[in-house]
Amino acid sequence: MDKIILKVKRLNNNTDLPLPSYQSDGSSGLDLCAAVNKELTLQPGDIELIPTGLSISLPKGYEAQIRPRSGLALRYGLGFVNAPGTIDADYRGEIGVIAINWGKKPLTIKRGDRIAQMVIHTVSRAIVEEVNELDSTKRGEGGFGHSGC
């Protein structure tokens, strides 16, 4: 298992909230909490930027993916407009979660609610090479639904 040092800075609006943490030995994502100053209610279809009160420093060659928590998605319809969100290794601003209420009822987010998970991944950088033709495959240009699903 690859382990790295994730440097985390608490911002002024996060001195009372826990640092990101894994909830079990097998967890892939570190839970992130909402650093809202007051309760925030998302009506169905509403989109809001939820602050976490944290900024991070990742080693070069890594990214942090911000993903919805499955329980909140199933029970309340909480999702992210840009899921997964990407935190680049050179970004030092506050991590914000672009949340959407996909559910049918209003959803209230309170200070300290675990609203997202952050998964750390390695990043490969591509060398872009323009070509006149691509190698052929059995699928070819078959698009959406081409495999029968």
pLDDT tens digits, 84-134: 999 999 999 999 999 999 999 999 999 999 999 999 999 999 999 999 999
CB contact at 8 A, 76 and 68: no
Report DSSP state, residue 20.
P
pLDDT at position 9: 97
Predicted model pTM: 0.86
* CATH architecture under which domain 7-122 falls: Distorted Sandwich (2.70)
Grouping H, G, I as helix, E, B as strand and the rest as coil, residue 114 is: strand
pLDDT in the model for residue 13: 77
Q: Report pLDDT for 100.
A: 97
Q: What average pLDDT does the segment 64-78 reach?
A: 92
Residue 52 has pLDDT above 90, yes or no: yes
The answer for residues whose C-beta is within 8 angstroms of residue 41's C-beta and 6 or more apart is: 106, 107, 108, 109
DSSP bridge pairs for 3: none
Q: How far apart are CA 125 and CA 103, in angstroms?
A: 37
